[in-house]
Chain A
Amino acid sequence: MSIIQRSQQWGTFARIWHLYDAKWQDPYLSAERIKMYLMGLYKPIYHPLNDCGDHVVVINSYDIALRGDEWRRRAYFHHTGYHGGASWTMAWEVHKKNPTMIMNKAVYKSMKGNLQRRYSMQRLHIFKDENVPENIMQNISNQIKQLRPVPLRLDEIPPQEVAEFPKLVKYPENYIAQ
């Protein structure tokens, strides 16, 4: 095997580390995309028996966005195994306790329940903010595209730009906005 083919082989089967910024992203839809990278489904050499899954580092999991009023509606079930040990925790409560848990569970549930799932999950690294350890950060070589752009909030726009924005309607002095 020539040195070119050897490096080609290495390049094809090397594990890649991807970065995903979960800020303002739906965790359940993001999970479908992250899953593709964790299982290696985005590679043309994919095979269920070949070990071609990559690492994914998810940052800003604290800032995920659930749809509608799902923070209050979505319940996470847990059972201790004892009688009366069932408990249902609302999404906002789970997120308050552990900001990485909703993302973690979303990715776990997006994958089919087989022997490979636990090993794929070991390649997922979730962080609640942008503080990622240096030894992980130095591996990263690719960024996964976000599902949708993060919208700019009005209070993040500089006040001068807001003041200079052309006005369509000039309200009278004594007008009270509701």
Chain B
Amino acid sequence: MVFQSLMLLARNKGPDEFWRKRKIFRIAAHFIGRRRNCYSIAIRNVHRALVYSSKGRALKKADMRALWETRLHAASEEHGISRYILHEGLMRSNILLNRKTLMDLAVWEPRTFKALSIIALARTKQDGLNSVQHLDMPDGIITRGMLK
């Protein structure tokens, strides 16, 4: 829109009232009772709903991360190591898999995950971490440190 003077800009009320309100009612369409039919109530609830959805986007990521960690804890305990040993061992072996991928492997490819957990344990054992001192070195793992 082109305004030829400030006066005209000030007089301009924006889009038509019907269309302005319709945008809000469209968002409030699934609310119940007067919250979807009366504009002054609908707008309040739409604002609140939009705030919730903004916060929810961050919460969803945190929730998923917590779920992955719970599942990884279960999966690595199954093979006798803690989740921290799994992460530490994989990082030291330069196997850069994130939580989601590791969790997917643990659920859908349990043997692959078992191999990864054995590698993590062998690497941490080889590096002499205190928390794995009581565990036995797994068989059949050849690392660069052994080759020399």
Residues in A21-78 with C-beta less than 8 Å from chain B: 41-47
CA–CA, A42 and B77, complex, Å: 8
Q: Is B106's beta carbon under 8 Å from chain A? A: yes
**B67 A45 Cβ-Cβ under 8 A:** no
Tell me the nearest residue of chain A to B73, going by C-beta: A41
**B71 A45 Cβ-Cβ under 8 A:** yes
**B107 A42 Cβ-Cβ under 8 A:** no
Tell me the nearest residue of chain B to A36, going by C-beta: B74
Tell me the nearest residue of chain A to B71, going by C-beta: A44
Interface size on B, residues (CB 8 A): 14
Cβ of A47: which chain B residues have Cβ within 8 Å of it?
67
**A44 B67 Cβ-Cβ under 8 A:** no
Cβ of B70: which chain A residues have Cβ within 8 Å of it?
41, 46
Closest beta carbon of chain A to B78's beta carbon, Å: 7
Closest beta carbon of chain B to A32's beta carbon, Å: 13
Tell me the nearest residue of chain B to A45, going by C-beta: B107
Residues in B70-89 with C-beta less than 8 Å from chain A: 70-75, 77-78
Cβ of B120: which chain A residues have Cβ within 8 Å of it?
none
Closest beta carbon of chain B to A7's beta carbon, Å: 16
CA–CA, A43 and B77, complex, Å: 9
Give per-residue flags for B86-117: 1 if the beta carbon is below 8 A from chain A beta carbons, else 0: 00000000000000000100110010010000
CA–CA, A171 and B131, complex, Å: 44
Cβ of B106: which chain A residues have Cβ within 8 Å of it?
44
Give per-residue flags for B43-78: 1 if the beta carbon is below 8 A from chain A beta carbons, else 0: 000000000000000000000000100111111011
CA–CA, A46 and B72, complex, Å: 10
**15 A-B interface contacts by CB (under 8 A):** A41-B70, A41-B74, A42-B74, A42-B77, A43-B74, A44-B71, A44-B72, A44-B74, A44-B78, A44-B107, A44-B110, A44-B113, A45-B107, A46-B67, A46-B70
Chain B residues near A (Cβ < 8 Å) = 67, 70-75, 77-78, 103, 106-107, 110, 113
Chain A residues near B (Cβ < 8 Å) = 41-47
Told that A44-B110, A45-B107 touch, could you supply 18 new A-B pairs with CB distance under 8 A?
A41-B70, A41-B73, A41-B74, A42-B74, A42-B78, A44-B71, A44-B72, A44-B75, A44-B78, A44-B103, A44-B107, A44-B113, A45-B71, A46-B67, A46-B70, A46-B71, A46-B74, A47-B67
